[in-house]
Amino acid sequence: MCGRFVLKAPPEEIKALFQYTDDPVFPARYNIAPTQPVGIVRQESRQRRFALARWGLVPSWVKDLQDFTLLTNARSETALAKPSFRDSMKHFRCLIPVSGFYEWKREDGHKTPYYIYPRQGGVIAFAGLWSRWMNAEGSELDSVAILTRAANGTVGEIHHRMPCVILPDDSNRWLDVQNVTAKEAAKILRPLQDDFFDKVPVSTRVNRVIHDDPELTEKVEPAHREFPKKKRVQHPDQIGGGGQLDLF
- Name beta bridge partners: 106: 111
The continuous run of DSSP H or E covering 155 comes out as helix 153-156
**CB atoms inside a 10 Å sphere around CB 29:** 19
Q: Which of 103, 107, 215, 226 is catalytic?
A: 103
* Catalytic residue list contains 164: no
Distance of CA 32 to the CA centre of its chain: 9
Nearest to 152 by CA among 92, 203, 112, 193: 193
DSSP letters of 81-124? G-HHHHHHHHH-EEEEEESEEEEEEEETTEEEEEEEEETT-S-E
Catalytic choice (2, 94, 140, 221): 2
Helix runs in 157-240, H state only: 171-175, 182-186
94 classed as catalytic: no
Task: Centre a 10 Å sphere on the Cβ of residue 136 and count the other Cβ atoms it contains.
Answer: 7
Residues involved in catalysis: 2, 103
